DNA sequence: CCGATTATATCGTATTACGATATAATACAA
DNA sequence: TTGTATTATATCGTAATACGATATAATCGG
């Protein structure tokens, strides 16, 4: 892609975009394998990360989790059920609004997430240069 | 994250990684919406892009498609069935190896993919700066 | 020419996300 | 206050799609 406005696409445009999507898939496949190797369905890993990685000021509720994972609220409900069954998270009643359930991670979840995050950051250190390059090529005249 | 070797994680590490995953989800959600607005299941869009964006030298077969989409071969078979039913792609017998089926896009698929690719490149021009920054933060001492 | 391998296909099943809907709590207007 | 709308979460049935196990046909290698 050469410019910012409507234009013709070259074969290279398609190839670079396809390569970019391929790189994203490889990263998520890495993440999926890492999660499953730790006995964790990948979406549960994403939930743990979203809960732990939430700016501390605001409470992490079912609804906020849904927003961060881009899933419907009832799907977040089901996901949190699975987390609770696995002993990874539990609902904490919110005293100010009894409709809301805050989410708290178990020690087991903290531990799993710690090692998962380490290997993910390590992997991203590997992948970042080529991802950044692909992004720059996608946005540059060439 | 501060360095390259085993280390302790800070709250910020979790937050940055969670934000990175959130950004990736937003991009794929954009892509999903764009595909569905064009009447295309997202995985069919990915297949079209993978077929079109394949370096021309090698033939694009069911098996290569599976590799590029990181799905099992039988899943690629089913996906190509759906593409064929939708009039988007067809199998072309490979004269050199009659086990193989090369894949060819229809004019309709080419047209859809062209407009899809334009909006995707446009979207990535928007998202690239913050993605690049997140990747750099993830890999930098701070 | 035959056993091993490769490429694709079929079938049954599991997972998971969602639409529709329900329930409980809160907000807010009159 | 009270009643109604709205918000937060939950339940249930269903649909989509990916995979494991397996099958078939073609090719390869000795």
Give the DSSP per-residue string, B51-69. HHTS-TTS--BHHHHHHHH
Terminal-to-terminal C-alpha distance of chain A: 7
Reported confidence tier of residue B130, pLDDT bands at 50, 70, 90: very high
Pairing label, strands B101-105, B89-93: antiparallel
State the DSSP H helix or E strand holding residue A131, giving kind and residue range, or none if neither: helix A107-138
Reported confidence tier of residue A59, pLDDT bands at 50, 70, 90: confident
Which position has the higher pLDDT, A8 or A57? A8
In contact, B104 and B54? CB cutoff 8 Å = no
Give the per-residue pLDDT at A115: 96
In contact, A46 and A99? CB cutoff 8 Å = no
Whether A62 has a pLDDT exceeding 90, the answer reads yes
How close does chain A come to B53, measured CA to CA in Å?
A: 4
How close does chain B come to A99, measured CA to CA in Å?
A: 26
Q: Do B114 and A4 touch (CB under 8 A)?
A: no
Contact flag, residue A98 CB and nucleic strand C, below 7 A: yes
Q: Which residues pair with B89 in a beta bridge?
A: B105
In contact, B4 and A125? CB cutoff 8 Å = yes
Give the per-residue pLDDT at A78: 98
Most A CBs within 10 A among B11, B18, B30, B137, hence the mutation to make, goes to B18
Which position has the higher pLDDT, B139 or B5? B139
Whether B121 has a pLDDT exceeding 50, the answer reads yes
Q: Which residues pair with A105 in a beta bridge?
A: A89
Please state, in angstroms and rounded to a whole number, the distance separating the CA atoms of residues B103 and B89.
7
What is the average pLDDT across A33-52? Answer: 97
Reported confidence tier of residue B8, pLDDT bands at 50, 70, 90: confident
The pLDDT tens digits for B67-110 are 999 999 999 999 999 999 999 999 998 989 999 999 999 999 99
Terminal-to-terminal C-alpha distance of chain B: 7
Residue A115's SS3 state is helix
Please state, in angstroms and rounded to a whole number, the distance separating the CA atoms of residues A62 and B74.
36
Q: How many CB atoms lie within 10 A of CB A115?
A: 12
Looking at the C1' of nucleotide C26, which residue has the nearest alpha carbon? Answer: A97
By Cβ distance, the residue of A52, A54, A135 closest to B128 is A135
Please state, in angstroms and rounded to a whole number, the distance separating the CA atoms of residues B20 and A31.
13
Please state, in angstroms and rounded to a whole number, the distance separating the CA atoms of residues B140 and B142.
6
Reported confidence tier of residue B55, pLDDT bands at 50, 70, 90: confident
Give the per-residue pLDDT at B2: 44
Q: How is chain A split among helix, strand and coil, in percent rounded to 5?
A: 65, 10, 30
């Amino acid at each position: 892609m050469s410019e910012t406005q409507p234009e013709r696409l070259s074969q290279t445009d398609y190839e670079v975009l396809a390569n970019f999507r391929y790189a994203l898939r490889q990263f998520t496949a890495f993440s999926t394998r890492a999660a499953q190797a730790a006995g964790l369905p990948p979406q549960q890993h994403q939930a743990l990360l979203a809960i732990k990685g939430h700016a501390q000021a605001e409470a992490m509720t079912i609804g906020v989790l849904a927003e961060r994972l881009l899933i419907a609220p009832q799907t977040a409900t089901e996901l949190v059920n699975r987390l609770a069954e696995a002993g990874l998270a539990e609902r904490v009643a919110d005293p100010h609004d009894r409709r809301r359930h805050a989410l708290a991670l178990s020690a087991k979840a903290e531990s799993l997430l710690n090692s998962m995050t380490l290997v993910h950051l390590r992997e991203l250190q590997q992948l970042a240069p080529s991802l950044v390059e692909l992004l720059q090529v996608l946005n540059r005249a060439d």
